[in-house]
């Protein structure tokens, strides 16, 4: 759960919107510190091989599908997502790596 601007955002809903984009192979969201909203949403994305997608394009894609406080404010692209033995994405690793304030 990510709390942004007093609203609770369930990450699976945002992640479903992200991976619905044809250029996205995998994607998850994490919260990162925001001085105004407490937390903002950051997407961590693995793009499909041979595709070209920008952070701005993915944010616009999500904006058109989610309520105004649910879409990611930033996107980080990576080659792979860290997974545990069961194949579940290790979000704590992503938070340690990417949950830093923008700026």
The residue extents of the domains of the chain are 2-98
What CATH number has the domain spanning 2-98? 3.30.300.30
Per-residue pLDDT of the chain in tens (103 residues, 90 and over written 9)? 999 999 999 999 999 999 999 999 999 999 999 999 899 999 999 999 999 999 999 999 999 999 999 999 999 999 999 999 999 999 999 999 998 865 4
Single out the residue of 77, 68, 91, 76 nearest to residue 9, CA to CA.
68
Dist CA 79 CA 59 (whole Å): 19
Helix/strand/coil for 70 = coil
**Which run of H or of E encompasses 57?**
helix 55-63
User: What is the CB-side half-sphere exposure of residue 3 using CA atoms within 13 A?
Assistant: 3
pLDDT at 103: 46
What is the average pLDDT value for the chain, to the nearest integer? Answer: 94
């Amino acid at each position: 759960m990510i709390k942004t601007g007093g609203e609770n955002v369930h990450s699976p809903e945002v992640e479903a919107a992200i991976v619905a984009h044809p250029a996205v192979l995998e994607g998850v969201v994490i919260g990162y510190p925001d001085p105004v909203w407490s937390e903002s949403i950051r997407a961590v994305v693995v793009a499909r091989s041979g595709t070209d997608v920008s952070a701005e394009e993915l944010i616009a894609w999500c904006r058109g599908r989610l309520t105004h406080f649910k879409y990611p404010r930033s996107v980080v692209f990576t080659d792979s997502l860290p997974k545990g033995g069961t194949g579940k994405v290790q979000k704590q690793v992503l938070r340690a790596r990417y949950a830093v304030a923008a700026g």
